[in-house]
Amino acid sequence: MSKAFLYFLIIFGTIFMSENADARTKRHHSRKSVARVAKPIVRTTDDLLADQVRINREKLRLDSVASLKDNSYEEDDLYPALDLYDNNWNTSVVHPLKGKQMYRPDSLVIDVSGFYMPTMGDVTSEYGYRKRFHRNHYGTDLKIQIGDPIHAAFDGRVRVVARQRGYGNVIVIRHNNGLETVYGHLSKHLVIVDQYVKAGDIIALGGNTGRSTGPHLHFETRFLGTPINPEEIFDFTNKVTHMDSYVYYENANKHKSNKALESVVGIAYHKVKSGDTLFSIAEKYGTKISVLKKINKLRKSKLQVGQVIRTA
């Protein structure tokens, strides 16, 4: 075999082996690269805990923001009419504004449509000056039996639950409409200070505590500490309000007296008696049957004894 042929074989073999080596190297690196990409990430317990901490912190942050929004939304319910009362929320004194100088509007329309009778008893003593005792009587007394349930007159929050001279066991509720109602001579409290109540909720049991000559509920209505004759707002005969709104006047001369109120009792409402019909009621109050049906949302003309019909 010639030297030239042997030399050719040696050169060819060297080139072939070199290319195979390069190919194996590339395949090796390719497999390593794929392995690096496909290799699963192993998470330790510490990593998982750290992630959970981050999630919890974010949740707390979001909850705190939501809580701030909720608190601002419920501010009126937490402290009804707080701005109106100059941020006064005294939980120990029935009349904390007595003698205090503060802004009072000349007049204000107050929504009283959500009224609920504190008790169904009749009036035993009216609001006004009592010659016999030489002092003013700032509420309306309603007949009860000891232990009768006493109800909240409107939605609101309980400001005072106490036993005080004169009132005996007493409760004061401030309402969302700006009024405060006072319930005196109770035998037992059934609510606590700062408790939110709805109109009609039972708040106490009637009694004969304090300066009292017999079982009754002493019921007061006040606005910014100023006493208002309850009979200006409520028709205790028919157990309803005179109107859905009450106009408060700072000038006491504009308030109606009991005599003036006698002329409006029944104008707003009529309690159905035996023999009453829509025709007779409409004739009595100078209105029409169609008007009575509309404002009372009546579909039928048949009435029930004791039913309360709005007439104006």
Concatenated DSSP letters for 51-88?
A: HHHHHHHHHHHHHHHHHHHHHHHTHHHHSTTTTTTTT-
According to the model, what pLDDT value does residue 69 have?
38
Per-residue confidence (pLDDT) for residue 33, from 0 to 100: 47
- The class level of CATH for 269-310 reads alpha beta
Q: How sure is the predictor about 35, in pLDDT bands with cuts at 50, 70 and 90? A: very low
- Is residue 151 within 8 A of residue 202, CB to CB? The reply is yes
Q: Is-contact 84 229, C-beta < 8 A? A: no
Pick the range with the lowest mean pLDDT from 27-36, 134-143, 146-155, 159-168.
27-36
| pLDDT at residue 115 greater than cutoff 80 | yes
Of 42-51, 78-87, 114-123, the least confident: 42-51
Residue 301 has pLDDT above 90, yes or no: no
In the structure encoding, which two tokens stand for residue 300, read together? Answer: 């039928």
Q: Which residue has the higher pLDDT, 199 or 268?
A: 199
Mean per-residue pLDDT over the chain, rounded: 78
Average pLDDT of 220-238?
93
pLDDT(212) > 50: yes
Q: Which one is predicted more confidently, 222 or 258?
A: 222
Looking at 13-27, 31-45, 283-297, which range is the least confident one?
31-45
The pLDDT of residue 139 is 94
How far, rounded to the nearest angstrom, does the alpha carbon of residue 147 sit from its chain's CA centroid?
Answer: 27
- Is residue 295 very low, low, confident or very high in pLDDT (cuts 50, 70, 90)? confident
pLDDT at 70: 41
Q: What is the pLDDT of residue 95?
A: 93
Give the pLDDT confidence score for residue 109 in this predicted structure.
84
pLDDT over 70 at 191, yes or no: yes
CATH 2.70.70.10 range(s) for the chain read 107-262
What is the pLDDT at residue 135?
Answer: 80
Q: What is the pLDDT of residue 312?
A: 63
Residue 12's pLDDT is 56
Separation between Cα atoms, residue 214 and residue 206, nearest integer Å: 11
Taking the C-alpha atoms of residue 174 and residue 108, their distance in angstroms, rounded to an integer, is: 17
Q: In percent, how much of the chain has pLDDT > 90?
A: 38
Question: Over 80: is that where the pLDDT of 200 sits?
Answer: yes
Show the beta-strand stretches assigned E in 84-215: 107-111, 123-125, 128-130, 135-137, 140-143, 149-151, 156-164, 168-175, 179-189, 196-197, 202-206
Is residue 34 very low, low, confident or very high in pLDDT (cuts 50, 70, 90)?
very low
- Is residue 245 within a helix (H) or strand (E), and if so which, with residue range? strand 245-249
> Would you say domain 107-262 falls under CATH 2.70.70.10?
yes
Instruction: Considering the chain, tell me which residue range(s) the CATH 3.10.350.10 domain(s) occupy.
Output: 269-310
For 60, the token pair is 């707390």
pTM value? 0.61
| pLDDT tier for residue 19 given thresholds of 50, 70 and 90 | low
pLDDT score recorded for residue 254: 60
Looking at residue 155, its pLDDT comes to 95
pLDDT at res. 78 = 73
